[in-house]
């Protein structure tokens, strides 16, 4: 028989919604810091350093034993690392050319596309179509000539990388327990981005102040969000997680305004709102 003390929820269970709010709020701040820090430098160097620093911290924390990994586990971690490398590098390339809120809104096509897998009801197809309609408002097809087409392309590749990350993280999570899979995947992402990022990383480490800013980017963009999600997802429903994730494009637009002074056009604001509504609707109506 379970005692009243053991049945009482732990503190993390009570704090789980707050942890979830924090985890969703961190990436837009990290994106704003990255965009500001990369001014005048090759942003791929920052993408590499973010992956490398995050990997080193997580590897030191979880201490996975590579000798115990099977071939299937290595394949899963390397595949997830490749998806992370594509996602992070192209997101930073998009940040160079697009407002933060717009880049995040376009990349949300990735998870919304994954939500289509296995869908059978007409309502399930409404949300990705609604999000795509919002993204089309940002393209030259609707007269949005002020947005960089190359930036939109990089954001679209980010969406593909995010979709791959979601699918591969499910497999990695089944094969490698805890956060070991993520730590190994981040190490692989650093390895994959090293050819283009390592030669450009030097300027970001030129002074202790710059190195601290790089650490802040890694902390807000990767380490804190993943750790907080890892703690919260065991204690909240996936529906609540999806609802909170739907806020991220709007939070990114707000971070861009407050931290970078990015003012968006009415069309861009409507596009971001449509993407948020699509993400929210997908989460609320998913079986």
- Greater model confidence, 134 or 89: 89
List, for residues 254-268, the tens digit of each pLDDT value: 999 999 998 888 888
- Greater model confidence, 17 or 193: 193
CA distance linking residue 109 with residue 128, whole number of Å: 7
CA distance linking residue 98 with residue 104, whole number of Å: 10
Measured in residues, the chain has a length of 287
Residue 173 makes CB contacts below 8 A (sequence gap 6+) with 181
- Give 26-92 as a DSSP string: HHHHHHHHHHHHTTTS-HHHHHHHHHHHHHHHHHHHH---GGG--HHHHHHHHHHHHHHHHHHHHHH
Mean pLDDT over 206-212 rounds to 94
15 pLDDT band (50/70/90 cuts)? confident
Coil/strand/helix, residue 193: helix
pLDDT of residue 24: 87
pLDDT of residue 232: 75
pLDDT of residue 51: 95
pTM for the model stands at: 0.87
Q: Are 22 and 172 in contact (CB under 8 A)?
A: no
Least confident segment among 6-10, 139-143, 206-210: 6-10
List, for residues 215-238, the tens digit of each pLDDT value: 999 999 999 998 888 777 667 766
Look at the alpha carbons of 175, 180, 182, 185 in this order and tell me if their dihedral is positive or negative: negative
Which tokens sit at 285? 């109506």
pLDDT of residue 35: 94
Residue 225 makes CB contacts below 8 A (sequence gap 6+) with 23, 24, 26, 27, 30
CA distance linking residue 114 with residue 104, whole number of Å: 16
Dihedral of CA atoms 128, 134, 135, 138 in degrees, nearest 10, equals 170
* pLDDT exceeds 80 at position 285: no
* pLDDT exceeds 80 at position 17: no
- Give 17-30 as a DSSP string: HHHHHHHHHHHHHH
List, for residues 133-163, the tens digit of each pLDDT value: 888 888 765 555 578 889 999 999 999 999 9
The angle subtended at Cα 30 by Cα 116 and Cα 12, nearest 5°, is 75
Coil/strand/helix, residue 41: coil
The secondary structure of the chain in percent helix, strand, coil, rounded to multiples of 5, reads 80, 0, 20
| All structural domains of the chain with their residue ranges | 4-285
Mean pLDDT over 66-87 rounds to 91
Block residue for tokens 């399930």:
124
CA distance linking residue 285 with residue 287, whole number of Å: 6
């Amino acid at each position: 028989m379970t005692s009243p003390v053991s049945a009482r929820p732990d503190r993390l269970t009570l704090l789980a919604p707050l942890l979830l709010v924090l985890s969703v709020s961190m990436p837009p701040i990290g994106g704003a810091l990255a965009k500001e820090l990369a001014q005048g430098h090759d942003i791929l160097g920052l993408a590499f350093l973010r992956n490398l620093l995050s990997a080193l911290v997580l590897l030191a924390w979880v201490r996975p034993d590579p000798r115990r990994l099977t071939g299937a586990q290595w394949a899963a971690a390397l595949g997830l690392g490749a998806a992370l490398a594509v996602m992070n590098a192209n997101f930073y390339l998009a940040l160079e050319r697009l407002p933060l809120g717009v880049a995040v809104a376009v990349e949300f096509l990735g998870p919304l596309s994954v939500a289509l897998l296995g869908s059978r009801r007409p309502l399930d197809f409404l949300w990705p179509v609604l999000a795509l309609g919002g993204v089309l408002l940002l393209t030259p097809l609707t007269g949005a000539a002020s947005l960089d087409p190359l930036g939109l392309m990089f954001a679209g590749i980010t969406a593909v990388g995010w979709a791959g990350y979601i699918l591969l993280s499910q497999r990695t999570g089944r094969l490698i327990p805890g956060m070991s899979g993520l730590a190994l995947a981040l190490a692989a992402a650093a390895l994959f981005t090293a050819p283009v990022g390592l030669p450009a990383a030097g300027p970001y480490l030129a002074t202790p102040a710059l190195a601290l800013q790089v650490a802040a980017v890694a902390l807000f963009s990767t380490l804190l969000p993943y750790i907080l999600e890892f703690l919260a997802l065991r204690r909240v429903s996936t529906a609540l997680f999806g609802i909170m994730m739907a806020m991220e494009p709007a939070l990114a637009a707000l971070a861009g305004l407050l931290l970078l002074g990015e003012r968006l056009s009415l069309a861009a604001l409507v596009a971001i709102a449509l993407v948020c509504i699509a993400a929210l609707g997908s989460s609320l109506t998913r079986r």
